[in-house]
């Protein structure tokens, strides 16, 4: 987790390590703290994190959100029920402006990035929504120079275009974005 808001860590730690319902995962949490190098959205740190993990499932949560207590349990159920998947996409509840308009939301579900194949493109999907099987990411990294400030969506779009059959969508399960900011 790229971290530029360390004051949120006690709340996040409690959420992920104490409040989650029983699940089949061993949590290895890598905190990558913001330093003097320019990485305002943490994409370079997230790419470094991919290189640190030899196997398992990877997730790049934001340091400004806590998640539902059933998240890891539900992820485990999805992984157990599907063979050969590379990514699990949850819907996301967001606060603030719409990422694709920069202003108000123009869809029927304000504040929702729906887990749907049609939304696997920049500004319509966020890496907090997606859990990746590590080997599925071989060779893929976040590329700010290529995709700009939406390089998580750009990487997800490329992965989806390469092999959409490896994506599983959970449109009625949610993760949260920006839930800790006032």
- pLDDT classification of 88: cutoffs 50, 70, 90: very high
- pLDDT classification of 69: cutoffs 50, 70, 90: very high
Residue 80 has pLDDT above 90, yes or no: yes
Check residue 169 and give its pLDDT.
98
Check residue 71 and give its pLDDT.
96
For the chain, give the number of residues: 182
Domain 2-177, CATH number (from 3.40.50, 3.90.550, 2.40.50, 3.30.420): 3.90.550
Residue 141 has pLDDT above 90, yes or no: no
Q: What is the mean pLDDT of the chain?
A: 89
Check residue 14 and give its pLDDT.
95
Domain layout of the chain by residue ranges: 2-177
Check residue 87 and give its pLDDT.
97
Ranking 26-35, 67-76, 95-104 by mean pLDDT, the lowest is: 95-104
């Amino acid at each position: 987790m790229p971290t530029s808001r360390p004051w949120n860590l006690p709340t996040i730690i409690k959420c992920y390590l104490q409040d989650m319902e029983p699940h089949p995962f061993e949590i290895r949490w890598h905190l990558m703290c913001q330093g003097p190098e320019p990485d305002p959205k943490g994409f370079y740190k997230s790419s470094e994190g991919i290189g640190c993990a030899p196997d398992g499932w990877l997730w790049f949560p934001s340091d400004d959100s806590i998640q539902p207590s059933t998240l890891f349990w539900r992820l485990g159920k999805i992984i157990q029920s599907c063979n050969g998947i590379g990514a699990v996409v949850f819907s996301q509840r967001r606060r603030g402006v719409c990422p694709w308009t920069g202003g108000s939301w123009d869809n029927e579900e304000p504040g929702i990035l729906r887990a749907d194949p049609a939304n696997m493109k920049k500004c319509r999907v966020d890496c907090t929504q997606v859990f990746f099987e590590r080997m599925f990411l071989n060779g893929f990294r976040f590329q700010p120079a290529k995709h700009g400030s939406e390089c998580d969506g750009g990487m997800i779009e490329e992965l989806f275009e390469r092999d959409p059959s490896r994506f599983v969508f959970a449109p009625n399960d949610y993760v949260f974005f920006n839930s800790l900011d006032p």
